[in-house]
Amino acid sequence: MELKLKKHPWFRGRKGPLLLVIMDGIGLGPQDERNAVFMAKTPTLDRLFASKLFCRLQAHGTAVGLPTDKDMGNSEVGHNALGAGRVFDQGARLVNKAIETGKIFESELWQQIVERGKKGGTIHFIGLLSDGNVHSHIDHLYKLIDKCAELDLKRVRVHVLFDGRDVGEKSALNYVIPTEEKLAKLSLEKGLDYRIASGGGRMKVTMDRYEADWRIVKRGWDAHVLGKGRPFRSAKEAVETYYKEDPDITDQYLDSFVVVDEKGEPVGLIRDGDVVINFNFRGDRAIEISRAFTEKEFREFDRGPLPDVIYAGMMEYDGDLHIPPNFLVWPPAIDRTVSEYLCAEGVTSFAISETQKYGHVTYFWNGNRSGYIDEKLETYIEIPSDRIEFDKAPQMKALEITDKTIELLETGKFRFGRLNFANGDMVGHTGNMEAAITAVETVDSCAGRLIKVVNDLGGITVVTADHGNSDEMFTIDSHGNRKPKTAHTLNPVPFVIVDSQYGGEYEMAPLEKRGLSNVAATLLNLLGYEKVEDYDPSLIQFKH
């Protein structure tokens, strides 16, 4: 299909570039001490939020393709919506439908899994034990386990990764205890052998992303596959021991552990003839462990002998690189992204972020597509992230991103650019208020620098966010006690246009609903094009 944009009948854009600044994790929360964005000194944001060209966008729930408006947004679905210009069913909603209809159990792959189980192979499940609905949902795991029991597959092992980011920071036992009880009940009532085998916190074990630290994946491999790790008789015992040894530790940073029997032997080694199912539906933190299980020429760490297993993801985590080769639920087919249209029109562009969010301004923005759309027209820049807990260095790489972006803008080669500042999200996840305030102030300062440069070049800057996080850093219980909040928020996010040559040609459109998917059409308008016919409406309307 040939992609074609129509020139706007009378607005041709500006002489300078259009820059999209995505302030990851900076939402519009309560204006009180819980909100690091409100508590920070933000002269740039204060000025922007008072602009006539400002509005609020929904960045969670149905506005980004998730099942309900109780579901928090995340950077993946957020950037999908920003780049796609319309809403697609995402992650949990896709999996929910596949399970509800039984489609997930009708594939040839599932039949191969069942056959291995019938022949004595163990069915292993690896994933985030959480109901945060961002990377996974515990209900999906339970439905898969129930199906295994219904089919009389004798041996199941679960390798649990603790959340503490998208749910309460010390809530692991709320998920571990019911899971151990469920597995024990199935084993007793049906004569099966179902157990938790290993685990650890998501930021220490298995769930690295963007190749930031392969040691995280190796810890998971050692525990899940080889049975190497600190031994405990149960996952519950492991969590309780870690809490006792370090009362300040949170779930996401719990060390790896291995469940052993009365003889001290691991109960869940992964061996030839087994099946491994990654029950996470979100891709970024599932890709590296998937590569470890499926790549023959793997050089990131020493795996030892690669077991002959069927490895399947809940979904295909990378559609272009086909990681993993086997998956249970097909991802949304996101076509005709805004960048595809811009490339078809010959518009030059760049995308830049640090490692933690580089995939968001490239892969997710482009509709879950790896690599360039048109290498002749596009430039992608990755600034390597520091390998350090983010509250220890809350400026992250914002200054380096800003410097490089200014360098790109001043070349005059690019009509459009997009960048992501990761600070508000990654530091917000730590629960450290002081660090989050520094993170927000850093982004505010950097955004101010960028706006000045774009103004000097006669261009337009659009400032928004993909979801909230730092805008709600703690909750207060009925006793007046503060409880750190490390998850994303359900708050709206800002959207504001800074147009150096604005003469009242347009205004914010009076839309009934405004979400991230409305941004793409807005960008097209600001570049001098009409919106694509089936894109969601632009956030601006031109005065005739």
- pLDDT value for 483: 85
Residue 72 has pLDDT above 90, yes or no: no
Is pLDDT above 90 for 362? yes
The pLDDT of residue 319 is 64
Burial 117-128, CB ≥16 within 10 A → b, else e: beeebbbbbbbb
- Residue spans of the domains in the chain: they are 18-88+333-542, 92-329
369 near 360, Cβ under 8 Å?
A: no
Q: Which two tokens stand for residue 127?
A: 């994933």
How sure is the predictor about 84, in pLDDT bands with cuts at 50, 70 and 90? very high
Q: Give the mean pLDDT of 111-118.
A: 98
**Cβ-count burial of 32 within 10 angstroms (0-12 exposed, 13-18 middle, 19+ buried)?**
exposed
Residues whose CB is less than 8 angstroms from the CB of residue 283 and which lie 6 or more positions away in sequence, other chains included = 76, 315, 316, 317, 318, 368
Q: What pLDDT shows up at residue 92? A: 87
Percent of the chain with pLDDT over 70: 99
Query: Which residues are within 8 A (CB) of 297 and not within 5 positions of it... i.e. 6 or more apart?
Result: none
List the beta bridge partners of residue 329.
315
Strand pairing of 493-499 and 460-464? antiparallel
Nearest alpha carbon to residue 397 among 452, 454, 358: 358
Alpha-carbon dihedral of residues 50, 55, 60, 61, nearest 10 degrees? 140
| 480 confidence band (pLDDT: 50, 70, 90) | confident
Total residue count of the chain as it appears in this document: 544
Nearest to 23 by CA among 501, 426, 431: 426
| pLDDT of 309 | 98
Digit-coded pLDDT (tens) for 8-61:
999 999 999 999 999 999 999 999 999 999 999 999 999 999 999 999 999 999
Question: Is 75 tagged catalytic?
Answer: yes
pLDDT (tens digit, 9 = 90+) per residue, 173-208?
A: 999 999 999 999 999 999 999 999 999 999 999 999
Cα separation, 445 vs 178, in Å, equals: 46
Q: What Cα–Cα distance (Å) separates residue 507 from each residue in 45, 52, 137, 497, 503?
A: 20, 8, 41, 10, 10
Determine the Cα–Cα distance for residues 541 and 539; give it in Å rounded to an integer: 7
Q: At what angle do helices 398-410 and 433-456 cross, to 10 degrees?
A: 10
pLDDT of 23? 98
Please tell me the CATH superfamily of domain 18-88+333-542, with its number: Alkaline Phosphatase, subunit A (3.40.720.10)
pLDDT band at 283 (very low <50, low <70, confident <90, very high): confident
248 CB-near residues (< 8 Å, 6+ apart): none
How deeply is 9 buried, as exposed, middle or buried, from its count of CB atoms within 10 A (0-12, 13-18, 19+)?
A: exposed
Tell me the mean pLDDT in the region 479-497.
Answer: 92
Q: What is the C-alpha separation between 8 and 162, in angstroms, rounded?
A: 50
What homologous superfamily is domain 92-329 in, according to CATH?
Answer: BPG-independent phosphoglycerate mutase, domain B (3.40.1450.10)
Which of 292-296, 318-322, 485-489 has the weakest average pLDDT? Answer: 318-322
- Rounded Cα–Cα distance for residues 125 and 137 (Å): 13
Q: Give the whole-number percent of the chain exceeding pLDDT 90.
A: 89
Catalytic residue among 75, 256, 353, 470: 75
Give 273's contacts (C-beta < 8 A, 6+ positions apart): 116, 119, 120, 121, 308, 309
pLDDT at 209: 87
Question: If you average pLDDT over every residue of the chain, what do you get?
Answer: 96
Q: What are the helix (H) ranges across 24-134?
A: 36-39, 43-49, 75-84, 91-101, 108-118
Say yes or no to pLDDT of 141 above 70. Answer: yes
CA atoms of 427 and 167, how far apart (whole Å): 16
Residue 320 has pLDDT above 70, yes or no: no
Phi, psi of 349 (to 5 degrees): -150, 165
Q: What is the pLDDT of residue 237?
A: 98
pLDDT of 418 strictly over 60: yes
Residue with tokens 């530790």: 249
Distance CA 81, CA 175 (A): 31
Question: Could you write out the three-class secondary structure of 384-415?
Answer: CCCCCCHHHCCCCCHHHHHHHHHHHHHCCCCC
Cβ atoms 486, 43 nearer than 8 A? no
Q: What is the pLDDT of residue 318?
A: 77
The rounded distance, in Å, linking the Cα atoms of 488 and 75 is 10
Question: How, if at all, do strands 275-278 and 123-128 pair?
Answer: parallel
Structure confidence at residue 210 as a pLDDT band (50, 70, 90)? confident
How are strands ordered across the β-sheet holding 18-23? Answer: 54-57, 493-499, 460-464, 18-23, 416-421, 349-354, 378-383
Which pLDDT belongs to residue 90? 86
Q: How far apart are CA 340 and CA 374, in angstroms?
A: 8
Task: Count how many Cα atoms sit within 13 Å of the Cα of residue 76 in the half-sphere of its side chain.
Answer: 23
**pLDDT tens for each residue of 433-479:** 999 999 999 999 999 999 999 999 999 999 999 999 999 999 888 88
User: For 208, what's the count of Cα atoms within 13 Å in the CB-facing half-sphere?
Assistant: 25
| Cα separation, 202 vs 284, whole angstroms | 13
pLDDT tens for 212-258 read 899 999 999 999 999 999 999 999 999 999 999 999 999 999 999 99
Asked whether the beta carbons of 314 and 328 are under 8 A apart, the reply is: yes
Instruction: Give the long-range contacts of residues 218-221, CB within 8 A, separation 24 or more.
Output: 218/300, 218/301, 219/255, 219/256, 220/126, 220/159, 220/161, 220/256, 220/289, 221/289, 221/292, 221/301, 221/303
pLDDT exceeds cutoff 80 at 417:
yes
Buried/exposed 296-308: b ≥16 CB within 10 Å, e otherwise: eeeebeebeeebe
